[in-house]
């Protein structure tokens, strides 16, 4: 037996212990973030995982790395669903928009932590950034297609998805046990209001109309 | 000269000093709550008012008393506007609803602290409770009248005002400098979606359908 295998093999007690701690921290963080959002105190996470705060920081040097461990799979799923919606919009534009918006709002309202992540992308994390960039590119294609098909009002814009996300975050954090029911109703109202209608809307916030969407659109065009 | 006048007259230096501290605290709290909502750390308020935390607690024994001092006038105005909207709904139901919703959403998005207060009434404060009760009674009358006039969809409910308030709180806290612009757009979308239309909505959260509105309606009927 080499010396290496005795310290790094998966069966090593030390390694198994570290992995157990890591898993306990991720599960505890998932529960705490779901309760209080991603800004929750990290010592609450450590307490719930029954480890010291020093152990938490040894496994996860900053808050972002813990957020990423908790929500990575959900973010990947989010990006994949956006991609599927963009595809579906080719043949069934309204159904594609409806299904995408309904799904993302349900996921958000079921988990305030996830609502935070979707509303405020982490700039520090490369994995998250990739998912976010993919989701952004797909939703731009989705909105271009539903607009081209004429199933939404002409002044509907991509930024309205962000508007919806932030509004839903308000329910997710403020409506307590009623969050999911309230979100379903908000979703139905907003989808109704996206349909073609003559009265013009106030413009989207100037800051939203610029920046990331324009950049992402330029990338798609290349 | 009595001994009393030397300690309690408005011109007494001690009294003037206390009053100055109180005003500094209220102004500092207004600024801090506007920046970070009513859950902001109170030591930030004390620091901004350039007084010690002990002085803050001497003037305002708990957070609610400070919130009340900051928002009392705005809450009274809110209740009065609800009353005016209920009156106006007798002759111009849609305009009354539109004006009320537009105003309250604008006030909320301009001040995250006020958004918090409207979304989560303080149960501890008697003055606030009175304003809240008045506003609630008036908005119930308002919604009854717009529904009776047929200018909103038949499944529109009073609880949808609360839905709107919470959604707007999400923008107020999450949209930063774009909050007011974003809120105007959400407001226009939602008003559009309140108009009569055939497709039924999911029900309002069961918990919202009950409780305070029913109680207030019973009080109005008496």
Chain A residues within an 8 Å CB radius of B152: none
* Chain centroid to CA B110: 12
How close does chain B come to A119, measured CA to CA in Å? 8
- Residue A191: closest CA among A95, A85, A90: A95
What are the residues of chain A with a beta carbon less than 8 Å away from any beta carbon of chain B? 119-120, 160, 163, 166-175, 177-178, 181-182, 184-186, 188-190, 192-194, 197, 199, 201-208
CA quadruple B12, B15, B19, B20: dihedral, nearest 10: 60
The reply to whether residue A208 touches residue B170, judged by beta carbons under 8 angstroms, is no
Q: What is the pLDDT of residues A73-102, one digit of tens each?
A: 899 999 999 999 999 999 999 999 999 999
Taking 70 as the pLDDT cut, the residues of chain B under it are 1-14, 121-124, 198, 209-217, 220-222
How close does chain B come to A182, measured CA to CA in Å? 6
CA distance A152 to A154: 6
Chain A residues within an 8 Å CB radius of B160: 185, 189
Number of CB pairs, chain A paired with chain B, less than 8 A apart: 121
Any idea which residue has 């918090």 for tokens?
A: B116
Q: What is the pLDDT of residues A13-48, one digit of tens each?
A: 667 788 888 999 999 999 999 988 899 999 999 999
**ipTM computed for the complex:** 0.79
CA atoms within 13 A on the CB side of A164: 29
Chain B residues within an 8 Å CB radius of A192: 192-193, 197, 199
- Cβ-in-10-Å burial (0-12, 13-18, 19+) of A148 comes to exposed
User: What pTM value is reported for the model?
Assistant: 0.81
Please check whether residue A153 is in contact with residue A194, taking contact to mean a CB–CB distance below 8 angstroms. Answer: yes
Locate the chain A residue with the closest alpha carbon to B192.
Answer: A193
Output A53 or B1, whichever has higher pLDDT.
A53
């Amino acid at each position: 037996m080499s010396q290496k295998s005795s310290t790094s093999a998966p069966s090593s007690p030390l390694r198994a212990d570290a992995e157990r701690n890591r898993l306990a921290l991720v599960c505890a963080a998932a529960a705490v973030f779901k309760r209080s959002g991603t800004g929750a105190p990290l010592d609450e996470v450590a307490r719930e995982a029954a480890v010291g705060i020093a152990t938490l920081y040894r496994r996860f040097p900053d808050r972002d790395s813990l957020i990423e461990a908790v929500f990575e799979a959900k973010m990947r799923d989010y990006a994949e669903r956006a991609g599927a919606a963009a595809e579906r919009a080719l043949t069934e534009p309204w159904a594609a928009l409806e299904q995408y918006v309904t799904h993302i709002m349900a996921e958000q309202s079921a988990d305030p932590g996830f609502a935070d992540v979707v509303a405020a992308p982490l700039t520090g994390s490369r994995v998250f950034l990739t998912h976010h960039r993919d989701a952004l590119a797909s939703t731009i294609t989705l909105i271009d297609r539903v607009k081209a098909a004429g199933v939404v009002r002409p002044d509907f814009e991509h930024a309205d998805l962000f508007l919806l996300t932030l509004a839903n975050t308000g329910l997710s954090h403020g409506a307590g046990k009623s969050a999911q029911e309230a979100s379903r109703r908000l979703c139905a109202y907003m989808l109704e209001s996206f349909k073609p209608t003559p009265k013009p809307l106030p413009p989207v916030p100037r800051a939203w109309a610029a920046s990331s969407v324009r950049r992402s659109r330029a990338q798609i065009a290349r």
